[in-house]
Structure 1
Amino acid sequence: MESLARALINEGQTTVANALLAHYREIGLTNDELLVYLQFKRFMDQGQQFPDATVIAQSMGTSANTVFQHLHEMLAKKLLTIESITGTDQKIHDRYNFDGLYDKLAVALTKAATATAAAPKVNARQKVFRAIQTEFGRDLSPIEMESISKWFDEDHYDPDVIELALREAVLRQVYNLTYMDRILLNWQKRNLKTAAQVEAERQRSIENRLNSAPKQKRQTTEQARPRIPLFKLGEGPRGNQSSSD
């Protein structure tokens, strides 16, 4: 065990980014090319900037020509470049540079992150399309679908707010996008951008109507109540005695 431990320590370790193992096919690497890269990285991590392809071929149990073929394919895909540098001995030396591989990996990761972020938006849009079609009881026309897409892409309405506008239209039995658009525009002018803000404003409106209802009822009752004259029956108002007096 001690000899094995010493061998492991002496051989060192090669660290590989998990992102590369997860996305190597997205950047154009085949299984064989990935293995070739790992073998080259093993030597390069030990300080050999231009490893011997023959030695790597022996480790892989293949021919040097096969290794060179894989390198040529990676060069064509711009995953690898071969550079000439001046060494400490002031001589020109070649070295392998796999920066292109990681540049493409960075692009792949950015696309993956963008797709992940966009997924909820796409799902929300599809949900709105389905909800409107269900409530309208028919398929949407291409023009209607374009109008709804503009609510997302140009007006940037919250999907929940669009669904609230749909609910308002359905409650009033107005099954068209024009009416929904007026509702959304009205809320936008009143700076109601979220479903919570719309619901809060609706609640305030209901409370205001309830609070004003008793006052209006009281005023109506007072108007309907007959006036009681401030003088005795058979007499005219004070200061307006009959001419017989």
Structure 2
Amino acid sequence: MEPLAHALIYDGETTLSNALLAHYREIGVTNDEFLVYLQFKRLMDRGNQFPDAAVVAKSLGESSNTVFQRLHEMLAKKLLTIESVTGDDQKIHDRYNFDGLYDKLVVALKQPERAQATQNETATKANPRQKVFTDIQQEFGRALSPIEMESISKWFDEDHYDPDVIGLALREAVLRQVYNLTYMDRILLNWQKRGLKTPVQVEAERQRSIEQRLNSEPKPKRQVGQNAKPKIPLFKIGEENSKQ
């Protein structure tokens, strides 16, 4: 056997559940997402729990931006989570966790009809969520990091912010040229504390603030010039002639 062929055989193998291979489409995983999962699993099986997206992108012949896009699509569908764990070196490390794939697979195999309904509901909810991810990425002019993707997911899953309200917070951040999620989070938290939960409420408050600011500004004094109206004389008509 050729040395290279021997090396390829003993380079290691990636084990995959046949059930997942047969039913991944039924749990809402696209072909592109499944390929990304396989590449990440390949690297994770070799001991790297937080593989570099650039390495995966190179294997797939895609850009890193495309790989990140697939990852936060899977985050939105609850197929993937990002965890922080303490390693053998007693340091905190991030790692990808794809257990959500198998959690949904179990549901699909036990209750096919219910699983299909859940999948449709998830797909419906993922669309506005996906738009938020895409809009932020475009306005920031860069790919989002896994931690940023997790933070945005929390806006939906834990804070339950309206997608359109998140879009308004993004607009405010862009207008002030502050391109980070921390600033957006402060805006959203401020609106939440003031009871502004819908786009209509946010826009109404914004308009009220503008009107209040305009009303509080001092009105300019009218200057006397060529266009100023002539002063009305204090005497009555005919009075001046009677004095002569």
Normalising by structure 2, report the TM-score. Answer: 0.45
Tell me: higher relative CO, structure 1 or 2? Use CA pairs within 8 A at least 6 residues apart: 2
Normalising by structure 1, report the TM-score. Answer: 0.45
